[in-house]
Amino acid sequence: MLFSSIVFLYFFLPFVLFLYFIVPTKGKNFVLFSVSVLFYAWGEPVYVLLMLAQIVAAFVLTGGVERFRDSKAGRVFYILSVFLPFAALFYFKYYVFFMENLFRMQPKALPLPIGISFYTFQIVSYCVDVYHKRVDRQKNLITFAAYVTLFPQLVAGPIVRYSEIAQTLTQKVHCHEVYSRLEKGIVRFVVGLGKKVLIANVVGEFVIEVAALDHRTVALSWAYAIAVALQIYFDFSGYSDMAIGLGGMFGFEFPENFRYPFISESVSEFWRRWHITLGSWFRDYVYIPMGGNRVRMTRWIFNILVVWLFTGLWHGAGWNFIVWGLLFAGLLVFEKGLGKLWKKVQSTNNLQDNKFIRFMWKTVKHCYVACVIIISFLVFHNGQLQEAWADIQSLVGQGKHITETMRSSDMAVCVYLLRNRIGILCVGLIGSLPALTWLWTAIGQRLEKSKVGDIIICVVQPVCVIGLLVLCTAYLIDGSFNPFLYFRF
């Protein structure tokens, strides 16, 4: 079941909210668990048993960890608690890929359980944190199951750690705080819905239209590459906003997953802004345990390669994801070396106080990151590396998509598509920057200083939210194109 569907918006969600708020506090976790299982079973009636089995296994094994903590048995329980979720993930997501590429065998492909990468990482993080005494083990199976199956973030993140929502799961939240989070959650959800339905879906239609062409112009190739990046961003960040908003409706505070990544000045900054919960998970549970950056240079490079190989594979079992991950690993190593060189040049030539040099350097970095994003997501988007390479070549007027003599009919189609979709691309580019948020916040702060301003805010915000919800509903009723890219992860 998609968040951006009529069934979810007008049937499932209102029913769940009503049920959640009328039951006593002691029964809320059971309600969350029950409706989350129903939500998952809507699309995965068979694999819900796999998820439930993993929940029970993790609950039992962490109980063994707690009971035999200072013995070898406790360590065995801990190893099993981490190994079993990863074993299931490997079997369903990577087994066929490795068998085909390592042993040239072609086993029968298995359907990928929805959201398995997300809930596997949540289970593993909980088991590791219990073993290292970062969190207290949850002794109530229903409460633990509610954490793992929590439907707002079950199938597409953000990756929520137990420590981040343990208080809400186990303690009563004051009424005024619940209603405050509910209000903010509704606004956040509708904004995310708008990003997904009105921008990501429309840009996605343009991506499909251009991909279907045999030939294209250089201008259309650049528009296509930008559209691919925008579709991926608004699709996933919109869904993350909806998940965070839904969490707020039920009293939870989920971590942020995106912070305007397209304004980054470096690849490392980009990954501090893009899919934040995934990056922090790999940092805390893989990178730092391997030594992080407090090791010699060769070992640090090895650590980076391993982390980004895993990051690529997390997104999917395909060579394009592996190349995509290793590309970022190479760029991070390159940036570290270039950063040291630039600091040396600055200190040698006293360039630190030269405003023009700093402005030009900042501009160059923004352009560099923009090119990296565009090229990397062409690799990410294409299942075949040959197709990704053809798309990249077309950006410089080369490759199979570019011909020296294009027929007038083909040229007319390219011009029509570009002219027809340039508006939504501009909207996407503007929406991916923090300017609108800054403007809205500044106006809100100014209006809050007066009683009239407070009244205006109380009227304008609900009107905008309702209007946006109506627009999204009209689009969902009228259109049939409503995919979600991250369901395959």
Percent of the chain with pLDDT over 70: 92
CB 482 within 8 A of CB 476: yes
Q: Residue 349's pLDDT is what?
A: 62
Distance of CA 168 to the CA centre of its chain: 23
Q: How many CB atoms sit inside 10 A of residue 330's CB?
A: 15
Residue 174 among the catalytic residues: no
Banded pLDDT at 155 (limits 50, 70, 90): confident
Q: Cα 182 from chain centroid?
A: 23
**Does position 486 have pLDDT exceeding 60, yes or no?**
no
Q: Give the model's pLDDT for residue 487.
A: 52
- Cα gap 201→484, rounded to integer Å: 9
What pLDDT is stored for residue 345 in this prediction? 60
Q: Is the peptide bond prior to 85 cis by the omega test (within 30 degrees of 0)?
A: no
| Cα-based distances in Å from 254 to 139, 145, 152 | 22, 17, 10
* Higher-pLDDT residue of 351, 439: 439
What is the distance between the alpha carbons of residues 223 and 232, in angstroms, rounded to a whole number?
14
What pLDDT does 365 receive?
Answer: 86
Position 175 scores a pLDDT of 59
**pLDDT score recorded for residue 344:** 65
- CB 246 within 8 Å of CB 192: no
Closest to 178 (Cα-Cα) out of 259, 75, 281, 252: 252
> 28-34, long-range: CB within 8 Å, 24+ apart, which pairs?
29/140, 29/142, 29/143, 29/146, 29/169, 30/142, 30/146, 32/146, 32/149, 32/150, 32/151, 32/250, 33/142, 33/145, 33/146, 33/149
Which residues lie closer than 8 Å to 341 by C-beta, 6 or more apart?
A: none
pLDDT attached to residue 425: 92
**Rounded to whole angstroms, how far apart are CA atoms 2 and 164?**
25
Which pLDDT band, with edges at 50, 70 and 90, does 224 fall under? very high
| pLDDT tens digits for range 119-142 | 999 999 999 999 999 999 999 999
Confidence of residue 208 (pLDDT cuts 50, 70, 90): very high
pLDDT of residue 189: 94
Q: What is the mean pLDDT of residues 313-325?
A: 91
* 60: amino acid identity, one letter: V
Of the two residues 360 and 28, the one the predictor is more confident about is 28
Q: What are phi and psi of 109, to 5 degrees?
A: -70, 140
At 100 the pLDDT is: 87
Q: Stretch 343-350: mean pLDDT, rounded?
A: 62
Check whether 114 has a pLDDT greater than 70. yes
pTM of the predicted model, to two decimals?
A: 0.90
Average pLDDT over residues 37-48: 84
Q: Which of 435, 460, 415 is nearest to 218 (CA)?
A: 415
The band of 172, judged by pLDDT with boundaries at 50, 70 and 90, is: low
Across the range 22-49, mean pLDDT stands at 88
- pLDDT of 342 > 70? The answer is no
**Using one digit for the tens of pLDDT, what is the confidence trace for 45-63?**
788 999 999 999 999 999 9
Region 437-448: mean pLDDT is 78
Catalytic residue among 275, 315, 381, 401: 315
Q: Which two tokens stand for residue 89?
A: 């993930």
Percent of the chain with pLDDT over 90: 51
Computed over its alpha carbons, how large is the radius of gyration of the chain?
24
Query: What is the reported pLDDT for 400?
Result: 86
What value does the mean pLDDT of the chain take?
87
pLDDT tens, 253-291? 899 999 999 999 899 999 999 999 999 999 999 999 998
| 258's tokens | 């995106």
The predicted pLDDT at position 55 comes to: 95
Q: Name residues whose C-beta falls within 8 Å of residue 177's C-beta, 6 or more positions apart in sequence.
A: 251
